[in-house]
Amino acid sequence: AFKRKKQQRRPPSPPGLPIIGNLHQLGELPHQSLWKLSKEYGPVMFLKLGSIPTVVLSSSETAKQALKIHDLHCCSRPSLAGPRELSYNYLDIAFAPYDDYWKEVKKLCVQEVFSPKRVHTMQPIRDEEVKKLIDIVTKSAQEKTPVNLSEKFLSLTVGVICRAAFGVSFHETVLNSDRFDKFINEAFLFLGSFSASDFFPNGGWIVDRLTGLQGRRERSVRDLDAFYEQMFDLHREEKEKGSEDFVDLLLRFQKEESVLGYGKLTRNHVKAILMNVLIGGIGTSAITMTWAMTELMRSPRAMKKVQSEIRNQIGNKSMITLDDIEQLHYLKMVVKETWRLHPPAPLIVPREVMSEFEINGYQIQPKTRLYVNVWAIGRDPDTWKDPDMFLPERFIDNNIDPKGQSFELLPFGAGRRLCPAIYMGTSMVEFGLANMLFHFDWKLPEDMEVEDIDMEESPGLNVSKKNELLLVPVKYVYN
């Protein structure tokens, strides 16, 4: 007997070219190009990126179908060249394929590394680092000179993550913070940049060699490796020091020969997991704070409202606590609204389909690469009234939250691959912003008007504000 071939219903697709397929349509900012294409081809769109069949989802409804109903069919990750090298062959959490190792290491990290308890034990470090920032900004306020907030928010998160997770202060090591920024930027680039071998698995590596991408990638991996090794050494030397940080914790698991999935946890596993902390934790929070300040500068009304809320709550206290933050409802809405318009990972992290499923009657085949365009979802006029307006109040009467349950707002993704550090990331962002908004009023540099603030985005896995945000602080005095 025959098996009748099931009728193939492939999602609509923009016309492509031979060999490269739709690759040339991605442009510099793929999430924006894909958003425009989705207006014509719909919320389930098929593209051929080089030789890779790819599906892009661009509405909350289709995102829900994939990330909730069919999550188990599509929660693996594609093999990508940059991530492979940075993760010691997928020994990390973010880029590991869906298997027993990933399940166990993610569970372990959710319980031990990213837990609310750890977020609370990090608070003294956050306090100290934010105090340093306040001092620097206060100096600028006295001199009436602008502060580069993009840079300051980055050094705040670098400071906190490095001390809290790695137990080292970067200024005190051979890796001074200048080089550290460079590391992070290079590593980011390799995680996000579209490299030829990711689209042409059979010959793309040749292009990557010719363009020098491969060489730079190898150098970046070497630099980071040296950094991890140095960190491990430092940990051995300073053993008697206080509480256990992430590195101590992971090295302890390694020493105890903990078995995860298919084997024992090795030094390379620890490095790969630390890479996720480094790259997942630093840019995303800094980017969010920068966009939030940018949007608030464009909306003096929202700025005034959020500052009064914070100042009423804090009064004449000198320190803002995590408990205070819980009372700052408008600030929380400002952050949500920032994530709606500026999700730090606009296409989240690509997934790979493991087994066939259907969305809106279209068949999605195994091995398809799947992107969810959360940037497009945040601007969808069917979901959001006046999507271009920055209106934190839109969150008053609904219970849309960013934790992966509301498919209209997915800055942390959803489903099994959900970001494990939502609480840590959110606390960092809210805490940093609350302090900058409490202690200072902010003015645009001379000869700049509100209309001159630009909203251009820079390319990469994490999309940040392209041009740095420069603002003049004015110290707030409680009376």
Amino acid at 57: L
Phi, psi of 380 (to 5 degrees): -75, 115
Closest residue to bound ligand HEM by CB: 413
Smaller CB distance to ligand HEM: residue 60 or 285? 285
Q: Say how far apart CA 277 and CA 167 lie, in whole Å.
A: 13
Q: Say how far apart CA 60 and CA 407 lie, in whole Å.
A: 5
C-alpha of 26 from chain center = 20
Phi, psi of 124 (to 5 degrees): -60, -35
Query: Given candidates 147, 293, 429, 437, which one binds ligand HEM under the rule CB under 6 A?
Result: 429
Q: Say how far apart CA 246 and CA 421 lie, in whole Å.
A: 13
Query: Given candidates 184, 359, 418, 472, which one binds ligand HEM under the rule CB under 6 A?
Result: 418
Q: Does 80 bind ligand HEM (CB under 6 A)?
A: no
Q: Does 345 bind ligand HEM (CB under 6 A)?
A: yes
Smaller CB distance to ligand HEM: residue 346 or 473? 346
Query: Given candidates 411, 459, 460, 473, which one binds ligand HEM under the rule CB under 6 A?
Result: 411
Question: DSSP label at 66?
Answer: I
Query: Given candidates 82, 159, 167, 344, which one binds ligand HEM under the rule CB under 6 A?
Result: 344
Query: Given candidates 30, 192, 420, 432, which one binds ligand HEM under the rule CB under 6 A?
Result: 420
From its phi and psi, is residue 144 left (phi > 0), alpha (psi between -120 and 50) or beta? Answer: left
Q: Residue 443, SS3?
A: strand
Binding to ligand HEM in span 365-384, by CB under 6 A = none
Neighbours of 28 (CB within 10 A): 9
Query: Given candidates 425, 459, 460, 473, which one binds ligand HEM under the rule CB under 6 A?
Result: 425
For ligand HEM (CB under 6 A), the number of binding residues is 26
Contact criterion met (CB below 8 Å) for 343 and 408: no
Smaller CB distance to ligand HEM: residue 98 or 362? 98
Query: Given candidates 37, 56, 57, 93, which one binds ligand HEM under the rule CB under 6 A?
Result: 93
Which stretch in 358-366, 377-385, 406-414, 469-477 sits in contact with ligand HEM by CB under 6 A?
Answer: 406-414
Query: Given candidates 30, 82, 281, 460, which one binds ligand HEM under the rule CB under 6 A?
Result: 281
Smaller CB distance to ligand HEM: residue 213 or 348? 348
Smaller CB distance to ligand HEM: residue 248 or 441? 248
Query: Given candidates 22, 58, 87, 276, which one binds ligand HEM under the rule CB under 6 A?
Result: 276
Smaller CB distance to ligand HEM: residue 260 or 419? 419
β-partners of residue 48 are 53
Q: Does 106 bind ligand HEM (CB under 6 A)?
A: yes
Q: Residue 343, SS3?
A: coil
Q: Residue 370, SS3?
A: strand
Q: Say how far apart CA 310 and CA 304 lie, in whole Å.
A: 10
C-alpha of 20 from chain center = 29
Which stretch in 29-37, 219-227, 321-329, 421-429 sits in contact with ligand HEM by CB under 6 A?
Answer: 421-429
Smaller CB distance to ligand HEM: residue 325 or 421? 421
Question: CA–CA distance from 204 to each of 77, 148, 313 (Å)?
Answer: 19, 39, 56
Q: How far is the CB of 175 from ligand HEM (least distance, A)?
A: 19
Contact criterion met (CB below 8 Å) for 70 and 416: no
Alpha helices in 256-406 (DSSP H): 267-298, 300-314, 322-326, 329-341, 374-378
Binding to ligand HEM in span 156-185, by CB under 6 A = none
Report the half-sphere exposure of 339 (CA within 13 A, side-chain side).
29
Tally of residues, the chain:
479
Query: Given candidates 91, 184, 277, 437, which one binds ligand HEM under the rule CB under 6 A?
Result: 277
Q: How far is the CB of 448 from ligand HEM (least distance, A)?
A: 28
Smaller CB distance to ligand HEM: residue 196 or 409? 409
Q: How far is the CB of 102 from ligand HEM (least distance, A)?
A: 7
Which stretch in 48-56, 202-210, 283-291, 439-447 sits in contact with ligand HEM by CB under 6 A?
Answer: 283-291
Q: Say how far apart CA 152 and CA 430 lie, in whole Å.
A: 15
Rg of the Cα trace of the chain?
23
**Interface positions with ligand HEM (CB under 6 A):** 93-94, 106, 276-277, 280-281, 284-285, 288, 344-345, 348-349, 411-414, 417-421, 424-425, 429
